[in-house]
Amino acid sequence: MGLENLKTILKNKEKTFEIKSPIIAASGTYGYNDEFQDFIDSNYFGAISTKGITLEKRLGNEGDRIFEVQNGMINRIGLENVGIETFIKEKLPILKSKNIDFLLNIAGSTIEDYEKLAEIAQKYNIKALEVNVSCPNVKSGCLEFGLNPDSLFKLISKIRENYNNFLIVKLSPNTNNIKLLAKATENGGADCISAINTLRGLGIKIQFDGQKFIKKSVKGGLSGPCIKPIALYMIEEIRNSTNLPIIAMGGITKLSDLFEFILAGADAFQIGTANFIKPSICTDLAIELSDFIEKNNFKNFEELKNKIKETK
């Protein structure tokens, strides 16, 4: 089966990012793709978003990193990654050899970190950059920029000075006004918004061994189907404040979820937590979406998307 009817073009003014399907594997849920390439057909993906890349290698947080909760999970990975130098030397050649489109997801502790990462991305002509200003699992950076509109505007403006290709900013839901963050992102020079990242959460499990209670708990980022209503609300708020294309995420597991996010304002999708449950979910959703388009006589994904957005 071909993917011709799934072609998606994310566009802001003269900047475009063309992908073969609107289905993207979310950052932190698909590694660098080489972990999956032997048993998952990634040709159906529009792209993958890499693990969050920092200037230097990071080992991440110690202790429990994943905590299952009802209809979701809490993670506190802490941006474990190989660092930009190793990514360029070892991971980038694999992505290029497999002809896989990707978003280079970047994170930093200072504005200077982001500027340097943007310069490197430009040097190697990375087609799309996803700026992480929304990870709740690190002690400095990310949310420090991502929850203050003025700081966010300054950060995106600095990145824009060093990077000329398609610039995506990943916003946090841990705010009381995501509209202000969306406008700051647009005014700073971004081409696209991805949302939402994880919500702050606490998972607790308690057992009684016959003599005493034993507790296990994890604080971190909550994701999965349990956050979908919040994600839908946030996507609609973003759409009402900006005309930038939106890549939506937050609890997507099935075809009808895609339609709901389109109605809220989405132009493409990222699949995150579902990858841990069913590693083939991105491929399966792309095939299911393509079949739906063909069986219901839509010309392509764009026509389907416009039809859904006409729904009263």
The CA dihedral of 69, 285, 263, 100, to the nearest 10 degrees, is 100
**Span 147-166, average pLDDT:** 95
The CA-based dihedral angle spanning residues 74, 287, 49, 93, taken in that order and rounded to the nearest 10 degrees: 130
Helices 281-295 and 255-264 sit at what angle, rounded to 10 degrees? 80
Q: Which of 4-8, 40-44, 83-87, 247-251 has the lowest mean pLDDT?
A: 40-44
CA distance 235 to 241: 10
Q: Does the pLDDT value for residue 250 go beyond 60?
A: yes
- The two tokens of residue 304 are 């389907």
pLDDT at residue 140, rounded to an integer: 54
Per-residue CA distances from 76 to 51, 143, 244, 262 (Å): 14, 14, 30, 29
What are the C-alpha distances in Å from 214 to residues 67, 74, 208, 256? 16, 19, 6, 40
What percent of the chain stands above pLDDT 90? Answer: 82
Q: How far is CA 172 from CA 89, 146, 187, 193, 242, in A?
A: 30, 7, 17, 11, 16
Q: Indicate whether 210 pLDDT > 60.
A: yes
Question: For all residues of the chain together, what is the average pLDDT?
Answer: 93
By CB atoms closer than 10 A (0-12, 13-18, 19+), residue 35 is exposed
Q: Contact, 117 vs 106, CB < 8 A?
A: yes
Q: Is 135 a catalytic residue?
A: yes
| The model's pTM | 0.94
What pLDDT was estimated at residue 137?
Answer: 59
User: Is the model more confident about 60 or about 160?
Assistant: 160
- Encode pLDDT of 43-82 as tens digits: 788 999 999 999 999 998 888 899 999 999 999 998 899 9
Judge contact between 251 and 225, C-beta under 8 A: yes
Catalytic hit among 135, 192, 226, 282: 135
Residue ranges of domains in the chain, CATH in brackets: 4-309 (3.20.20.70)
CA distance 222 to 302: 31
Query: Can you read off the two tokens belonging to residue 235?
Result: 């996507």
The runs of H, that is alpha helices, within the chain are 84-86, 92-97, 111-123, 143-146, 149-162, 178-188, 228-239, 255-264, 274-277, 281-295, 301-309
